[in-house]
Amino acid sequence: MRVRRKPWAAGEIAQNSHMIHDPASFRGHWKDAFGNDNPIYLEIGCGKGQFLSRNSLRYPDVNFIGIERDETVIATAARRLSESQKNLRLVNANVVDLLDFFTPGEIDRLYINFCDPWPKKKWAKRRLTHRLFLEKYAELLGEHGEIFFKTDNRLLFEFSLNEFCATDWRLSKITLDLHHSEWAEDNITTEYEEKFSSMGMPIYRLEARYEPRNQEK
């Protein structure tokens, strides 16, 4: 859903201390942006920031970065944050440029929450769990990184399962109804998640770690 552009958005982005204006300049030394050596978790398509904001408060010893391409949406996220949330940064950029912003292994965890399902077959390569994106994530995360993925769209979830399995990702903690699963208690919700769940829609979730098969010499 397209968000109506707000006249104050550009000013908020320019002045808000949580915004990173030149993410490529931090490539390879994002820990300098936070002033510590804590692990870094990244959410792509962070929307209005509820998920990241709640995570930053619950886990003060983790650094969080949110990427969102829509200017008004990320400005809204930035406006909602408090100055005390020093472990959270926001970037107004497109996910296709991820490797321009981070070096391999610099990110410890990647969140993909309720991304656009791009339902038509011809749009498959735009899905954030398409194997072309998974290749980027594998390089981004390095040997020890992981992906946490949530969606309300069953067809996207099935597509994603196939893409992960076809590209050497090991899956775990798969559930077809997150809010009635053993992982519900620790789950931090997004705005979309609360909306869909209130309508009685199940939430699909998985975790993935890249484990390439041994290649024959």
Per-residue pLDDT at 215 exceeds 50: no
pLDDT of residue 112: 98
pLDDT in tens, 133-149: 999 999 999 888 999 99
On the CB side of 173, CA atoms within 13 Å amount to 16
Cα distance between the two ends of the chain:
49
Of the ranges 5-14, 41-50, 116-125, 152-161, which one carries the lowest mean pLDDT score? 5-14
> What is the DSSP track for 137-194?
HHHHHTTT-EEEEEES-HHHHHHHHHHHHHTTEEEEEEES-GGGSTTSTT----HHHH
Active-site residue, from 22, 61, 97, 116: 116
Mean pLDDT (whole number) for 182-208: 95
Q: Considering only residues 22 and 6, tell me which one the structure prediction assigns the higher pLDDT.
A: 22
Residue 116 a catalytic site member: yes
What integer is the mean pLDDT of 103-111? 96
Domains and CATH numbers, the chain: 9-210 (3.40.50.150)
pLDDT, tens digit (0-9, with 9 covering 90-100), for 36-79:
999 999 999 999 999 999 999 999 999 999 999 999 999 999 99
